[in-house]
Amino acid sequence: NAFEYTVPFSSARLGHFTQPKPELGNFLKQDQTLLKILQKNIPKQHYQTVEDDLLRFSERIASEIDDLGFQCEKEKPYVQTFDAWGNRVDQLVTCEAWKKMHNISAEEGLISLGYENPNEEWRRLHQMSKLYIFASSSGLYSCPLAMTDGAATIIRRIENPSSQLLKAFQNLTSRNPEEFWTSGQWMTEKKGGSDVASGTETIAVEQDDGSYRLHGYKWFSSATDSDMAFTLARVVDKQNNVTEGTKGLSLFYLETKKNNGSLNNIQIIKLKDKLGTRQLPTAELLLDGTSAVRVSELGRGVAEISNMLTISRIHTALMAISNMRKLLILSKDYSLKREAFGNLLYIYPLHVQTLARLETEVRAATLFVFQSVLLLSKQESGKATEDELHLLRLLTPLIKLYTGKQAMSVSSEGLESFGGQGYIEETGLPNFLRDAQVLTIWEGTTNILSLDVLRCISKSNGQALISLKNDVDNKLSGTPSELSKEAEKLQMALKSVLQFVTTNQDNLDVLTFAARDLSYSLSRIYMGTLMIEHTASCGMSPVDMYACKRWCEQQLSLVSNHNQYSKQSSDMDKELVYG
């Protein structure tokens, strides 16, 4: 008592216990699936260099980059519209950590690696592996990188590019932070982001020197601090008319700043207030006579920008698997540190079962996404067969739509595995859930991508599905007896899906109505196939086999019940929703 009188103030007693936090550690070392993919696909003479680089980069992520990513979430970008003297400046202010991400991206060759020698196809795999490891710790810097990669691909495809475009390509693929550029991709307008053919109101007015001035309102532009962008607009003809629909859209290249550093007749109207991706400056932009160059033939804008979409959709899927893997790494670590009812969490089979189910999802998704990466590198090096080209076209919307949905469910379950801490902002964990939701929306929503799957099947006269079937047959042909039941199940499911498509090939209404179920079915079947192939080619480990079995336990084909796509079902759906 005497002591309390002499010391009237003292800190509160908060108890002795503090929970050790989950640690990321070395990402690559904890991803056996990726390691095996790399071992299988990188030529022996280059393998060690790639592995060393990825291990070093994983260390850098854990010791430096992950904190910067979190900093980007805490110090959100904002726009200073006017300066102190009332001049309109539209200055986008980003935090130091975001700027460091720019430099790291250049130094680490996160874009350049994919372009340095297209004949060495493993370089794309190296690049995409790095991007994968980076994405979930990048504070969303992987978003501008996705569009940058897509932009570089567009320029590389242009025959006889101008010196301006060549210079842009050099900047986009530079390893020098001072020279490195990022790109935007401005497609979405107020009237429509899925249906850009009806939604695009931006017009392009040709100038005497052959360049254009753009006038329009871009409703979503992520990477607002980018140096350049590709965008769509309708060219105004001499009679002052524009062509409506897809055929009226052309693709334009623009630089966001003039030589004097001011914006290229662009106003940043506002930054969006978003559920997630808060690290990312996503703006509404007014194009008020923005100087631009047409880079597609007249009316070929959507077809051309689709090449950019292919790349950025693969990046979106990389982000999905990166988020899932990182969350699982943290959750596993936590289960070794957190006690409940007298035991560490990992002692409880029910807890571990929950994590095992997530692990199965992530493994399957990793194989799925990297299969597309391998096909992309073959396409770019000119070594892809016809079947492989069809497969790449078909898999791109599938990996994007399916892994987006997986990322949502895995992040929700993953957060729960931390109990209440999963809901607490300072842990950084809620970001996983917030940022997963966007993966199902941008770069094409689930339904739009499902319709793209149909577009791909119909444009190829069904060849895309035949290529998929050939690949499944080929991959399952070497199935060891231990997995023969699973292989059979996959083949049966594929047969039922193909039958469904054949039966309804002239019934577009049914196919359209079934597009989402069809896409999920194809994804699950192909993912199961990859798991079996992977298991067989990597020494038939009991754990890989177990994961295959788990995957194939779920319903693989969702389109077997034809009645669910009848006119009657559609009417009843309407009644159920709006009645």
Which chain residues interact with ligand UCC by CB under 6 A? 142-143, 146-147, 185, 187-188, 193-194, 196-197, 222, 246, 302-303, 306, 309-310, 312, 315-316, 319, 442-444, 448, 452, 455, 459
> What are the phi and psi torsion angles at 461 (to 5°)?
50, 40
Strand (E) or helix (H) holding 216: strand 212-221
Asked if residue 285 lies in contact with residue 269, where contact means CB atoms within 8 angstroms, the answer is yes
Calculate the CA 472 to chain-centre distance. Answer: 25
Among ligand UCC, ligand FAD, none, partner that 221 touches (CB below 5 to 8 angstroms by kind):
ligand FAD
Minimum Å distance from CB 462 to ligand FAD? 22
Angle formed by the axes of helices 349-380 and 301-335, nearest 10°: 150
Phi-psi region of 144 (alpha: psi -120 to 50; beta: other; left: phi over 0): alpha
Calculate the CA 562 to chain-centre distance. Answer: 32
Exactly one of 376, 438, 468, 558 binds ligand FAD (CB under 6 A); which one? Answer: 438
What whole-number distance in Å separates Cα of residue 528 and Cα of residue 339?
35
Minimum Å distance from CB 453 to ligand UCC? 10
Among ligand UCC, ligand FAD, none, partner that 407 touches (CB below 5 to 8 angstroms by kind):
none
What whole-number distance in Å separates Cα of residue 201 and Cα of residue 197?
9
Among ligand FAD, ligand UCC, none, partner that 282 touches (CB below 5 to 8 angstroms by kind):
ligand FAD
Exactly one of 141, 253, 432, 442 binds ligand FAD (CB under 6 A); which one? Answer: 442
Minimum Å distance from CB 193 to ligand FAD? 2
Residue 405 within binding range of ligand FAD, rule CB under 6 A: no
Minimum Å distance from CB 190 to ligand UCC? 14
Minimum Å distance from CB 400 to ligand UCC? 9
User: Cβ-closest residue to ligand FAD?
Assistant: 193
Among ligand FAD, ligand UCC, none, partner that 459 touches (CB below 5 to 8 angstroms by kind):
ligand UCC
CB-nearer residue toward ligand UCC: 431 or 479: 431
Torsion over CA: 355, 357, 358, 362 (sign): positive
Question: Candidates 170-178, 185-193, 302-310, 327-335 — which segment interacts with ligand FAD by CB under 6 A?
Answer: 185-193
Residue 426 token pair: 């300072």
Residue 299 within binding range of ligand FAD, rule CB under 6 A: no
Residue 252 within binding range of ligand FAD, rule CB under 6 A: no
C-alpha closest to that of 497 among 464, 530, 475: 464
Alpha helices by DSSP H, 417-507: 430-439, 446-459, 463-476, 484-503
What whole-number distance in Å separates Cα of residue 341 and Cα of residue 79?
50
CB-nearer residue toward ligand FAD: 391 or 438: 438
CB-nearer residue toward ligand FAD: 179 or 573: 573
Residue 100 token pair: 């460091």
Asked if residue 412 lies in contact with residue 433, where contact means CB atoms within 8 angstroms, the answer is yes
Residues 447-506 contacting ligand FAD, CB under 6 A:
447-448
Phi-psi region of 540 (alpha: psi -120 to 50; beta: other; left: phi over 0): left
Footprint on this chain of ligand FAD (rule: CB under 6 A)? 184-188, 192-195, 220-222, 274, 277, 282, 438, 441-442, 444-445, 447-448
